[in-house]
Amino acid sequence: NTLSKELIQFSYREDIYQVIKAYQALTPTLDSAQQLVLKDTLLGYQRLGMHLSAAKKERLKALKAKLSDVSQAFDEAIREMDSKGSFTEAELEGVPEEFLKKLKKKDGAYLVDFTRPSHRSVLLSNAKNEAVRKKTYIMRSAPVLLENGPRLTEMARLRTELATLLGYSTWADFKAETRMAGDQKTIRTFLDELLEGLQPKLAEERKVFIDLKKELTGKEEVSLNLWDYSYLANQLKKQKYQIDMEALRVYFPMEACLKGMYQVYSQLFGIEIQQVENPNPWAEGVTLHIITDSKTKKPLGLFYLDLYPREGKYGHFAQFGIVRGRLEKDGYQRPTVALICNFPEPSGERPTLLDLGDVETLFHEFGHALHSILTEAPFVNYSGTSVARDFVEAPSQVLEYWLKKPEILNLFAADYRDSSKKFPQVVLDNLEAADLATAAHHYVGQIAYGLSDLNLHSYLATEQVGDAIVLGNKTMEHVFYTPPAGSGFMASFGHLTGYDAGYYGYAWADVIAADIASVFEKNDAYLDPKWGLKLRKSIFEPGGMRPAKSLVESFLGRSQSITPFLESLGIKKNEK
């Protein structure tokens, strides 16, 4: 749109760049916050290539234009991919009846859309027929393999040249510079160490899966494949843990969950949360709330709560900033944010009932709101969630650990028909055991994606960029399981145009969250305001004014470690 184009042109203003450079040359007396702004502003201009010669700038613009075109074509191919198939009722043995009822039929067969995550997930997790699962895996990428494979290879080549022109060794180093990781070597070391740490548990899980597949198929010789482990994990949970997630919804009525969450976060962070009149709601049911400091009674910020879906509304869950925190001449501008959710609506006299995953989402997204509202950063570019991109999820993800504790759940999780019936401890134990039972497969899968992404963006200018699809498949085979012939997951890996060289960030944030949570676990402090206020002061208030590593270690009182994360999965790391 016009505004975006104008902002891009503004960022390339040579006159402003020269004025800022001249100002830096005067070696002005600045406080630490001002020094950070000046340093990052000049780094931003360097990353745009403002320091390059006229000829190199022209080459840079040409590369960016070409990269934009190829990336757009890559995305469009995924978005417009036609990947459908049909299966008979016999072929879909094991698939839930409720899912089958929603499918269209043609000539007696059920029609499925392999581009829809919900269709793929149900088939891969439930279809007893292995051929159905294999086809489902292949058809996620097969239709765009021939066109998107070369595009992805060309994107990697263009990015490598761009990085070299800007003075970086690789595209991964260029992207990592403004992230917590800092460089690609740190990312690779992290992924390699995590992969090594997960190996003992991965081996145990594979043995369980092999035994289970033998039992389910009646065969003595079986192999594990990429299209097997979701199915086997689901069967294991059904057989061994007998958890009915739908039946657990009665313990999580929406109003009780909100009230319980407010109670937990109020006690932990030293705040008060109160609903106020919403003078101008953008839709019916949108409420407005104020957060104040419980000690000083000073207002900290406002948040809107938009809980239920409606026509034309954003379809996912997210926290959006409306007014961002910043220091002004007459005081601090406190933030205002919106929590946009799409929870199931109430039905008749029955309230909205959440499943445990929904409650996690609620606690997580409200964590982002707290990160935004508790900020004390003086500059808007560093306030709240304006932190390194590979760190932004960690402060929210750590709060999900609270839901693993019975003393937290007992505050609000009760049968809406009879509040004396609390969430059963045995179910909580089974849920945790079920998650742990297949955790290594989940994370090694994430590492395989992360390393595929990193390998693609670690070419040097002196190297020839290899075939992206082959590279991804070889990485997957080396790290996890061998992809089937005719497949190439990289061809439909949408993160590669928006989160390129950044997929490691999911596991990165999980490891940081586990490290922080281990302090609360060790001190039995999940409702202890002493530790909650330390978390608020160390991590939530500074925003991006200090390096993320410094924030985390100021809370921990020690260096970061992957050991608490491995221990949370039941893995004791061998001391060398």
Show the tokens assigned to 235.
């069967």
CA–CA separation, 516 vs 551, rounded Å? 11
Show the tokens assigned to 75.
């995305």
- Catalytic-role residue among 193, 365, 376, 521: 365
CA–CA separation, 427 vs 164, rounded Å? 54
**Do the Cβ atoms of 322 and 328 come closer than 8 Å?**
no
Pairing of strands 287-293, 105-106: unpaired
Show the tokens assigned to 68.
């934009």
**DSSP, residue by residue, 168-213:** -SSHHHHHHTTSSS-SHHHHHHHHHHHHHHHHHHHHHHHHHHHHHH
Residue with tokens 């009780």: 256
CA–CA separation, 168 vs 172, rounded Å? 9
Amino acid at 164: T
CA–CA distances in Å: residue 137 to residues 87, 117, 223, 327 = 15, 11, 16, 51
Residues paired with residue 112 on neighbouring β-strands, in sequence order: 85
CA–CA separation, 366 vs 291, rounded Å? 12
For residue 292, give the 3-state DSSP assignment: strand
| Angle of the 32-48 helix axis to the 14-25 helix axis, nearest 10 | 140
CA–CA separation, 310 vs 319, rounded Å? 17
Task: Return the closest-CA partner of residue 337 out of 361, 309, 370.
Answer: 370
Residue 468 CB-half CA count within 13 A: 27
Tell me the backbone φ, ψ of residue 65, rounded to 5 degrees: -65, -45
CA–CA separation, 175 vs 500, rounded Å? 8
Instruction: Note if 365 is an active site residue.
Output: yes
Query: What's the length of the chain?
Result: 576
Task: Return the closest-CA partner of residue 569 out of 433, 394, 407.
Answer: 433
Positions marked catalytic? 365
